[in-house]
Amino acid sequence: MSKIKLNVLGISYSQTQSGAYALVLTEENGDRRIPIIVGGFEAQAIAIQLEGLKPPRPLTHDLFLNFAVSFKIDLLEVNIYKLEEGVFYSKLLCDDGKNRLAVDARTSDAIALALRFKCPIFTTEEIMERAGIVLEFGKETAGKGSEKDSGPVKSPTSSGHGKSSEEFKELSDEELKEMLQTAINNEDYERASMIRDELNRRKTS
């Protein structure tokens, strides 16, 4: 069975489920996207890694990574192998240097780990045919398994509001950088992301 490589496009707020997020995966050599509904905790774990934030203490997925590295266990790849009643099923292909073992995992956890281990994510053509859509952000997207997105992909640590520029506009870059580090140390990832967004806006303006 041929495998299709996927990349993480980003995370947007779910329009259909309160407190949930749509994790969007895209096929590497194609235009199809797979939106997967994930919970807030898992979405934050993925967003932290995507945004390059370094928490002062290891989160659950970081602990898994540290544990695996300590015992010389490598995560070779993640496989999203089944879609049943709207639920995606995944396996982790692990290797300890002697044996390879496939371990079942929730897809949201599997993606969070794949980002940390920097390993590839795969799915099957059957799943792409059933759940894949051509997703154009900024436009209402219709199709099986689709999400409606009213803007670009956002992480759950981003506020999505216009308050950040008002709050930070009088502060210098150095002050913002100090605030960013404080927010990270306090594990306030939403505020950290807002500050990072403001710094990035200044770089491009």
pLDDT at 134 over 80: no
The pTM of this model reads 0.73
Q: Which CATH architecture group holds 3-134?
A: Roll (3.10)
Amino acid at position 141, single letter: T
pLDDT digits (tens, 9 = 90+) for 61-112: 999 999 999 999 999 999 999 999 889 999 999 999 999 999 999 999 999 9
Average pLDDT over residues 168-175: 89
**d(C-alpha 188, C-alpha 195), whole Å:** 11
Closest CA relative to residue 181, chosen from 7, 54, 63, 13 = 54
What is the rounded average pLDDT of the residues 140-169?
Answer: 47
Phi-psi region of 10 (alpha: psi -120 to 50; beta: other; left: phi over 0): left
Residue 124 has pLDDT above 60, yes or no: yes
Reduced to 3 states (helix: H, G, I; strand: E, B; else coil), residue 90 is strand
